[in-house]
Amino acid sequence: MSTIKQLAKKESEGKSFRGGHSLCRGCGIPIAVRTVLNSIDTPVVVINATGCLEVATTRFPTTAWNVPWLHVAFENAAAAASGVEAAYKALIKRGTIPDDEPITFVVFGGDGGTYDIGLQSLSGALERGHQFIYVCYDNEAYMNTGIQRSSATPFGASTTTSPSGTESFGKAQKRKDLTAIMEAHHISYVAQSSISHWHDLSTKTKKAAKAKGPAFINVLSTCQLGWRHEPRDTVNIARLAVETCFWPLYEIIDGYYRLTHEPIEKRQIKTWLKTQGRFKHLFNNGNEYLLEEIQQDVDKNWNRLLERCRQDANYFERQEAYF
Amino acid sequence: MKEPIKLYSQGEAQLRVRRDWCKGCDICINACPKDILKLDETGRIFVTDIDKCIFCGICAERCPDFCFSLELPETINSI
């Protein structure tokens, strides 16, 4: 377990990912990336899908990365990671590189590159069982190209391709539950975390690094431009998403669910929606039914998750040390 | 800019602030438990009173632009 002081101190050593990048002010992505990379003790190789992170950290001739870093295309981050990992194994077998210090392969992809475009390559790589950690920073739309809707965009959110107006109330479809799709691949570690809970994310990264085979972490990361909130509220809004149970923090170990953070008081989803400009139209007169619908959906998912965690509680009691 | 990197110290513990990387997003001001961070007239962060700092490291953990880093003596680090 890393303490916050250790994470803060590692900063000064200039380990993996540095400042000077051109991500927006108040962006949540670097918070997620730094916490993940600083929690891994072994050397890392980073594979990046196309997205804000890739574009803003590697503007020629500068780079924010202090580790081997690879970017191929939007849709094949996981396939590229599979190739790197297979090459690493082959080189160890030939004795070209020593195997005394294992390397961790980390893939970063946005929700566009994970939920939509990269889903096939990710699914393939998980099925083949390559040893890597896939971290999806989910900011709920294609923010890099100008806030287009993705399958991670929540119901009712206004984006440039699902605008709110007289004919539309924003995105009319529900968001995809990617964490459940990843669980269906029967990999040993799947988790959902948020940038607001650094300890949670750090612990989950450590578990993911120790998992046999691929691991997947879905991290909620806010985007002040697309969500239309003040840059200073980045972390608070991510925290509120957890407290309203819109984004529950849980992990799935070998198919068994475990809640890692239960809010002391489950807050109304309204409090979270109110903080963001993309949901502003939901508070207009006549749109109360939408708020009701969103609240019911959140409640349904939350209760289902609680039920699932209760069923699986026995497994974690029996298991003394998992990972 | 005056002093792109500023060092604040309290005994052996040091807080280093890279002011040239600051984009003025206010996240650290929100996070700081002792309320000692402030933006100057150019919109960059500075520490108002380092004697109040408890070196918790939350600013370094939260800053998206890597402005903060802590240098701590071993005794503090091991707790």
- Best of B28, B62, B75 to substitute, by most chain A Cβ atoms within 10 angstroms, is B62
- At A256 the pLDDT is 92
- At B79 the pLDDT is 41
pLDDT in tens, chain B (79 residues): 667 888 999 888 889 898 988 999 989 999 999 999 999 998 899 999 999 998 888 998 899 998 988 887 765 554 4
The whole-angstrom distance between residue A323's C-alpha and the CA centroid of its chain comes to 21
Is the pLDDT at A79 greater than 90? The verdict is yes
Radius of gyration in angstroms for the set of CA atoms belonging to chain A, rounded to a whole number: 19
Answer yes or no: are the C-beta atoms of A23 and A30 closer than 8 Å: yes
Chain A residues close to B16, C-beta within 8 Å: 12
User: Which of B30, B58, B69 has its CB closest to that of A232?
Assistant: B30
- At B33 the pLDDT is 93
Chain B residues close to A17, C-beta within 8 Å: 66
Global pTM value: 0.93
Distance CA B35, CA A76 (A): 45
The residue extents of the domains of chain A are 3-322
Structure token digits, residue B28: 């650290």
Say if A1 is an interface residue toward chain B (CB within 8 Å). no
Q: What angle do CA A3, A188, A126 make, to 5 degrees?
A: 110
Phi and psi at A66, nearest 5°, equal -115, 20
Is A43 in a helix, a strand, or coil? coil
The residue extents of the domains of chain B are 5-71
With cut-offs at 50, 70 and 90, classify the pLDDT of residue A318: confident
A241: nearest Cα among A223, A260, A220, A218: A220
Answer yes or no: are the C-beta atoms of A257 and A137 closer than 8 Å: no
- At A164 the pLDDT is 92
A124: nearest Cα among A80, A172, A158, A87: A80
Chain B residues close to A23, C-beta within 8 Å: 64
Identify the residue with better confidence: A180 or B76: A180
User: Which of B23, B60, B79 has its CB closest to that of A11?
Assistant: B60
A139: nearest Cα among A115, A117, A118: A115
**Average confidence (pLDDT) over A177-186:** 94
Answer yes or no: are the C-beta atoms of A189 and A211 closer than 8 Å: yes
- At A1 the pLDDT is 57
Least Cα separation, residue A5 to chain B (angstroms): 6
With cut-offs at 50, 70 and 90, classify the pLDDT of residue A13: low
Distance CA A200, CA A69 (A): 25
Chain A residues close to B29, C-beta within 8 Å: 232
Asked if B23 lies within 8 A of A6 by C-beta distance, the reply is no
Is A271 in a helix, a strand, or coil? helix
Lowest-pLDDT choice from A11-25, A51-65, A127-141, A304-318 = A11-25
User: In DSSP terms, which residues pair with B45 in a beta bridge?
Assistant: B39
Is the pLDDT at A10 greater than 90? The verdict is no
- At A11 the pLDDT is 54
Q: Spell out the residues 6+ positions from residue B63 whose beta carbon is closer than 8 angstroms to its own.
A: B27, B28
Chain B residues close to A25, C-beta within 8 Å: 23-25, 64-65
The CATH number corresponding to A3-322 among 3.30.950.10, 3.40.50.970, 3.30.1360.80, 3.40.250.10 equals 3.40.50.970
- At A229 the pLDDT is 94
Report, at the CATH architecture level, how domain B5-71 is classified.
Answer: 2-Layer Sandwich (3.30)
Answer yes or no: are the C-beta atoms of B55 and B72 closer than 8 Å: yes
Say if A237 is an interface residue toward chain B (CB within 8 Å). no
DSSP H stretches of helix in chain A:
4-12, 29-39, 52-57, 77-94, 111, 119-128, 178-183, 198-210, 224-227, 234-243, 269-273, 288-318
Mean pLDDT of chain A: 91
The whole-angstrom distance between residue A289's C-alpha and the CA centroid of its chain comes to 30
Phi and psi at A18, nearest 5°, equal -120, 170
User: Which of B24, B67, B70 has its CB closest to that of A19?
Assistant: B67
With cut-offs at 50, 70 and 90, classify the pLDDT of residue A150: very high
Least Cα separation, residue A27 to chain B (angstroms): 6
Q: What is the largest CA-CA distance in chain B?
A: 38
Say if B16 is an interface residue toward chain A (CB within 8 Å). yes
Distance CA B67, CA A310 (A): 42
Q: Provide, rounded to the nearest whole percent, the portion of chain A with pLDDT above 90.
A: 81
Say if B58 is an interface residue toward chain A (CB within 8 Å). yes
